[in-house]
A and B are shown apart, each in its own frame.
Chain A
Amino acid sequence: MNKKLKNREVVLETKSLSKHFGGIKAIDNIDLKLYKNEIIAIVGDNGAGKSTFIKTVSGVYRRDHGSIHLFGKEADIHNPSDSRGLGIETVYQDGGVVPMLNASLNLFLGREKVRKGILGKVFRTVDYKFMRKEAVDLLDKVGIGLKDVDAELNNLSGGQRQSVVVGRAVYWGGKILIFDEPTNNLGAKQERIIINLIKSIRDKYDVSIIIISHNIMHVFELVDRIIVLMNGCKVGERIKEETNPNEIISMITGVNKKL
């Protein structure tokens, strides 16, 4: 049992959160609580609304109904920058890294470090040395072993690429980390890298984590609590110790309607 759970502060809460596209309700009245230092998983079949939920919370989509509350205060999130400003760092399934750039440039994507002095202030020149050093330090701290820090991410394995994006979420001081299918499209060895990375982050940083995954084994290995979505609605919620993979799977597929 995660000792940190004794502290029951709610860091993220959604109330009746809804988002529709045209006539389709992608997510419908989702009530969700994330407690401090907790890791939760949001699971569900394709089209269940997991990605939409995450993108609505992180600001890629604008919510149609309901509210989002961060650290007790209601938040108005219009775009990804808003959510980042409030402490949410999201690692998306599609669109994490720029493959032609190296680790440090990807780490600082959108938040490049400006050099001090006139050159920096007037021309906004970039401080490559600083960014590289920060990247090396971060990779060291969380235990990501990149054989070549300056290499294009194209030339690294999928697991290492994904590690950089995960590391990025932590580096920018995210208090709430959201990982959308972090082990998708990775081979078994690469998946291990990411899972160990997430465990290392949970141990070393003061963060709360939401993971979307359709890999039930990984879910049971990593999380404290599991939330099941189906057709845009929340159909179940279980503490890991009080359930098992079969029950979760049947909730996902809707075979057993017992709530």
Chain B
Amino acid sequence: MNSVNERKDKLKKIDFTNISLVGVIAILMILFSSLSPYFFTISNLITILLSVSIIGICALSQSMVVISGGIDLSQESVIASAGVLFALLNSYGLPISISIILAILSGVFFGFINGIVISKLKVNPLMVTLALMGIIRGINGAITKDLAVSIPREDLLFIKKGIVINEVQIPLSIVVFLAFFLIYLFILNSTIFGRRIYAVGGNELASLFAGVNVDRIKITAYIQSGALGAISGILYASITGAGYPYGTQGYIINILAAVFLGGISLEGGRGKISGTLLGVLIIGIISNGLRVLGVQTYIQNIIIGGAMLSAVAFNEYKLKKEL
């Protein structure tokens, strides 16, 4: 009798969320491979990774914000603003490295604004980041006069080249995305800062009384989502060859879809960053698979939205069932 109960308890401890996500990925891969010969090729797999890198970098940092109990809707505008700033500064003749650094700093700045207003003025994150989403979008249009700012191809060579392994060229975006994934995996699972992100998201008051500097944790969370949004924006501008002030509208939907699909809870304090990686891959595989099959974009949107809805509903049901 005892060993049966022990086994049951051990079974309960296994986190099925990631396992089911891996299962979903496997099913999708098998499905699309059987429907099209173009799907399971190295070049297509790299295309998938490329398409998810931008969203993925944002999803990683967004996950940290959501785990800490907040949300950053302004991220999609920050992607555009960094791309636009990068393109503009480059067109003024500034060295590439300077343009990149300043563009990243703009993301840090916007993140800092978010963080200060949310923590010190205690305004709801949804409202603050929504407002900033609009404001930054407006700024983007203002400094570009609503026009795209192109980046000469010569200036983007280093980014396009990326890293070469065994004669396979791996684009820089993918390298950056995977590097950030490993960094965030480490930070959230092993460091004091990561622990406190979970603590603040789980119970802000308890953390405050326990001596955690809650304001500092929150501000840092929004700064990193701004910074990584900016980094992905620079990569996005490099891939598309221009800074588009309005090019990223609607991106926040896919970013959040990946975050929630991966099992991060909107309430905060819960979720694994490895889940976010899997969520990002699922969305990438679905989009790419449907595109390879020639399915219209609106159907992609419906399917991705549906996938996020079912994933969230399933997770919430599992949570409430235990209570």
Question: In the assembly, what is the distance between CA of A148 and CA of B196, in Å?
Answer: 23
Asked if B236 is an interface residue, CB under 8 A from chain A, the answer is: no
Asked if B11 is an interface residue, CB under 8 A from chain A, the answer is: no
A98: which of B13, B207, B211 is its contact (CB, 8 Å)?
B207
Asked if B143 is an interface residue, CB under 8 A from chain A, the answer is: no
CB pair B210 A112 closer than 8 Å:
no
A97: which of B193, B194, B196, B203 is its contact (CB, 8 Å)?
B203
Smallest CB–CB gap between A61 and chain B, Å? 12
CB pair B191 A125 closer than 8 Å:
yes
B269: which of A94, A96, A98, A155 is its contact (CB, 8 Å)?
A98
List chain B residues, Cβ under 8 A from A148: 9
CB pair B191 A95 closer than 8 Å:
no
List chain A residues, Cβ under 8 A from B196: 110, 112
CB pair B209 A92 closer than 8 Å:
yes
With known contacts A80-B211, A109-B212, A148-B9, A123–B191 Cβ distance under 8 A: yes
Smallest CB–CB gap between A166 and chain B, Å? 14
B-contact bits for A96-117, CB 8 A (1 contact / 0 none): 1111110001000111101000
**A-B pairs under 8 A by CB, number:** 75
Asked if A52 is an interface residue, CB under 8 A from chain B, the answer is: no
List chain A residues, Cβ under 8 A from B270: 100
Question: In the assembly, what is the distance between CA of A14 and CA of B139, in Å?
Answer: 56
List chain A residues, Cβ under 8 A from B194: 126
List chain A residues, Cβ under 8 A from B302: none
Question: In the assembly, what is the distance between CA of A100 and CA of B195, in Å?
Answer: 12
Asked if B199 is an interface residue, CB under 8 A from chain A, the answer is: yes
Question: In the assembly, what is the distance between CA of A204 and CA of B131, in Å?
Answer: 56
List chain B residues, Cβ under 8 A from A60: 209
List chain B residues, Cβ under 8 A from A200: none
Nearest-neighbor residue (CB-CB) of A84 within chain B: B211
Asked if B206 is an interface residue, CB under 8 A from chain A, the answer is: yes
CB pair A100 B202 closer than 8 Å:
yes
A109: which of B186, B193, B210, B322 is its contact (CB, 8 Å)?
B210
CB pair A99 B190 closer than 8 Å:
no
CB pair A126 B195 closer than 8 Å:
yes
Asked if A163 is an interface residue, CB under 8 A from chain B, the answer is: no
List chain B residues, Cβ under 8 A from A215: none
Give the A-binding residues of B (Cβ under 8 A): 9, 13, 186, 190-196, 198-199, 202-203, 205-212, 269-270, 322-323
A sample of 14 more A-B contacts (CB under 8 A), given A95-B209, A124-B193, is A92-B209, A94-B205, A95-B208, A96-B209, A98-B203, A99-B202, A100-B202, A109-B206, A109-B207, A110-B207, A110-B212, A126-B190, A148-B9, A155-B322
18 pairs, CB–CB < 8 Å, chain A vs chain B? A60-B209, A80-B211, A92-B209, A95-B205, A100-B198, A100-B202, A101-B269, A109-B206, A110-B196, A110-B212, A124-B191, A125-B190, A126-B192, A126-B194, A126-B195, A148-B9, A150-B13, A154-B322
| 5 closest cross-chain pairs (CB), A and B | A95-B205, A110-B210, A98-B202, A110-B211, A109-B210
